[in-house]
Amino acid sequence: MSMADANLLEGGASIEADVCVVGAGAVGITIARELGEAGVRVVLLESGGLSPDEETQTLYDLRSAGYPIRENFMSRARYYGGSCNLWAGRNMLLEPLDAEARPWVEASGWPIPHAEIAGRYARAAAALRLPPIDRFDERTYRPRMSADEKAIFGSGPLRPAISLWAVKPMRFGPAGEKKLRASANVRVLLRASAVRIRLNADGSGVEAIEALTLGRKKLEVRARAFALACGGIENARLLLVSRDKHANGIGNRHDRVGRFFMDHPRAVFGRVLLKKDNRIPLLRGIPLRDGKVQFGIGLTEEAQRAESLLNHYVTLEAEYSEYVAQQYQTFVQTMKVLLRRGHAGSRWKIGRESMSDIPGMIYLLTPKELMPHFVYRWYTTLRRALDPQAGGNARVVVYFCEQPPDPESRVLLGEGRDALGVPRLELRWKIGSEVVRSLLRMQEILAENLARTGLGKLEPGDGEPRFSDASHHLGTTRMSDDPRAGVVDRDCRVHGVSNLYLAGGSVFPAAGHSSPTLTMIALALRLSEKLARETR
Ligand SMILES: Cc1cc2nc3c(=O)[nH]c(=O)nc-3n(C[C@H](O)[C@H](O)[C@H](O)COP(=O)(O)OP(=O)(O)OC[C@H]3O[C@@H](n4cnc5c(N)ncnc54)[C@H](O)[C@@H]3O)c2cc1C
């Protein structure tokens, strides 16, 4: 691999490759690595450098005009390694029902069978350095489930929703670089932001990607195939701003680009008072030799079908006193900056003011992230031996919700331009009433279960739940066999453009409730196989 700062290239350079990948996040790095190993010559264009800087991060600024989402610098990182420089590292599987067309969820259904994704989960898990994927199987944990957990999941509409973490969250930058370095076929150009996709004369194929540096140096990459991996929001932006051949942007003849924006709305709503001698080790999370597992409480397929519910799950998190919360907040933020090398220069300070939601923050940064893994394991074992109910018997209920596809939840070109002259986006995130209905029903089901099993009592949340996003940006260039209904086909190729492919969360046609990165990597592997076949 070679890696260079695009500012050092000659102005107006035209570079050739078999495949041009745009965006060096988890997805782009995976594709470049796979193709490089398969003998394909790749140019990987990355907007940022090797560490965060405020000027580049500002290129992501957008106007949020719908349901509020986290500030730019909290929810995306525009430098080598992408948002996985910030991520919490939770991994879950997309479930078979999530990929099905469900009559009660409008516009649901993936055009590819779930097996196409599932068949690549083992390799995707290895890329994320996760424990083997049989650890997603409930049966693996039966011997470790407590009597209380067996009672919750024993019968009825609840089942475990399993999350796995690696020993350390995979930061694709430094780790991915090592593997990429081994590949002579990959050329990484840093500080090169793609600003336009140039189509050929009849608009049926891409001729080149045009890029600019913040120092206004111009370059272009010509290739046989192009894969955009700029994240779930930016992929749509690049299509929308490239208008010289198609007035509404590329792939947008039917006004689908940017629509169906989804995230996983998250709400801290209500609390549970557990019986005194409760034992819920898996629900609290168990450190493993090679990672960590936590059970959430999810809904069975039968329950979703019977009551037309969305796929939600909840976790029961420790409740802290206000004083402890304040101390913890300061400590966590300091550690976060140290461990994650800062968000985007000084702007992370603004985050301090908006992060008053302690349970939400605990989700973002658990002790697991603060300590070396072996210390974390000792700490957990010791703490549980000395004080099995540490944190008290009161637990807050955190809901992780499925957001159904909705064309009115969208990104579109907004007002103003960024420092490179690219039009900025407006984001109209819309959370429909179906989400609230499913959440409230889930709350009732959980309350009934806790009362029936004698494990505790649920105190419902007050009024309507207030959601925050999970930085899972999905759906804006959705996959569909029908060009009138989606932007890419089942091969992730933009309808009507023979050599343009999209990768990452933007192609998800339905979101389920699962943290999406593992599935994005599985899809990236699938796309790499296709591109390797076609361009080798
Ligand atoms: C705080 C936080 C916590 C998270 N926790 C989890 C979690 O626990 N589990 C989970 O599954 N997911 C989590 N996520 C989401 C996860 O980080 C994303 O799903 C993942 O990073 C997406 O990878 P990507 O490569 O598609 O996009 P990105 O990581 O966004 O990478 C896109 C890359 O493209 C570059 N780029 C953008 N525009 C251009 C352009 N025009 N030209 C050139 N380059 C460009 C960017 O600089 C970036 O490097 C979290 C995210 C955040 C922010």
Residue with CA closest to ligand 1 atom 3? 87
Q: Could you give the CA distance from residue 251 to residue 342 in angstroms, rounded to a whole number?
A: 36
Cα 521 to ligand 1 centroid, rounded to whole Å: 12
Residue pair 285/164 in contact by the 8 Å Cβ criterion: no
> Taking each helix axis from N to C terminus, what angle separates 26-37 and 517-535, rounded to the nearest 10 degrees?
30
pTM for the structure as a whole: 0.92
Burial class (CB within 10 angstroms; exposed 0-12, middle 13-18, buried 19+) of 374 = exposed
Residue with CA closest to ligand 1 atom 27? 231
Q: Which of 46, 78, 87 to mutate to test the pocket of ligand 1 (most atoms within 8 A of CB)?
A: 87
Residue with CA closest to ligand 1 atom 37? 230
List pocket residues of ligand 1, CB cut-off 6 Å.
22-28, 45-48, 75-76, 78-79, 82-84, 86-90, 193-194, 229-231, 234, 238, 364, 471-472, 504-505, 515-517, 520
Please report the atom of ligand 1 found closest to the CA of residue 238: 41
> How does pLDDT run along the chain (536 residues), one tens digit per residue?
789 999 999 989 999 999 999 999 999 999 999 999 999 999 999 999 998 888 999 999 999 999 998 777 678 999 999 999 888 899 999 999 999 999 999 999 999 999 999 999 999 999 999 999 999 999 999 899 999 999 999 989 999 999 999 998 888 876 556 666 667 899 999 999 999 999 999 999 999 999 999 999 999 999 999 999 999 999 999 999 999 999 999 999 999 999 999 999 999 899 999 998 899 999 999 999 999 999 999 999 999 999 999 999 999 987 765 445 555 545 555 555 455 544 433 344 444 444 444 444 454 455 566 677 777 777 777 777 776 665 568 888 999 999 999 999 999 999 999 999 999 999 999 999 999 999 999 999 999 999 999 999 999 999 999 998 999 999 999 999 999 999 999 999 999 999 999 999 999 999 999 999 999 999 999 999 999 999 87
Cα 289 to ligand 1 centroid, rounded to whole Å: 27
Residue 133: count other Cβ atoms within 10 Å of its Cβ: 18
Cα 84 to ligand 1 centroid, rounded to whole Å: 6
Of 128, 195, 120, nearest in space to 166 by CA: 128
